[in-house]
Amino acid sequence: MLIAGNWKMFKGPRETREFVRAFAKPDGVDAVVCPPYVSLAAALEGPVPVYAQNVHWDAEGAFTGEVSARMLLELGVAGAIVGHSERRQHFGETDETVARRTAAALDAGLAVIACVGELEAEREEGRTEDVLRRQVSMLDRHERLVIAYEPVWAIGTGKTATPEQAQEAHALIKSLVDVPVLYGGSVKPENAQELLSQPDVDGALVGGASLDPESFATLCRIGASLS
C-alpha cells in the first residue's frame, strides 16, 4: 500500500521542514511526499522518501523551467509524478509527453507515478474506458512504475468516485498493464477506508489532505490497516 502526498504549489522550505518534523509514518505502509521543486531539499531532511511533481525527458538542454531526472537523482529525490491532470489541463501535457517523461525517468533510475483519468464530460458520454485505454496504452510495465487513476472531475472539487467506480477503473487499468494502481481524487480520512479497501486499489495519491501531517498520518494508518 502506497500513500503519496502531492502538495501541488503549497509549502515552501520552512513549512516543509515543519511538516517533516511533525509527521510520523506508521509501520506497514509506504509513504512519499511530493513537494514543489524549491522544497525538495528541505523535505529530504526528513525520513520519508521524496518525489518531484514533474520531470523532463532530456538529461539537460535549453528547457527553461524544467528539471531533469539526473538533477533530481543528484539531489536525492526517489521519484516523480508525471502527467497529473493539472499539468494536462493548464500546461499542455499530452499522452505522448507523459510517455516520454515516464520512460526517461524510469531509464534514469527514478520511480514514477503516472497519472491517467477521464474528464467529467468523457464519463457522462460513456467514454471512460476508451480514454483510459488510450492513456494507458502509452505506458509500458516497469518495476518502478505506479499508475494513479484520477477522475479529473474529482480533482480539487470535493467530488469523489464511488468505491465501485474506482474499482471498475482500477481493474481495467490492471488488465492493460500489470502495475500497482493508486486512486487520486479528493481522498481524505473520511472516505479513504472505503476506497482503499477495494481489491484493485493499491493506495492513494492525496492532494489537500496530505498538507497536514496528522491528516496524512491518519491516511497512512488507514492504508496500513488494509495492507
Annotated catalytic residues are 84, 150
N- to C-terminal Cα separation, the chain: 6
Q: How many CB atoms lie within 10 A of CB 11?
A: 20
Closest CA to 131 of 86, 176, 75: 176
Question: Can you point out the beta strands (E) in 45-138?
Answer: 51-52, 79-82, 111-116
Distance CA 186, CA 173 (A): 20
Question: Can you point out the beta strands (E) in 75-189?
Answer: 79-82, 111-116, 145-149, 181-184
Closest CA to 77 of 53, 56, 95: 53
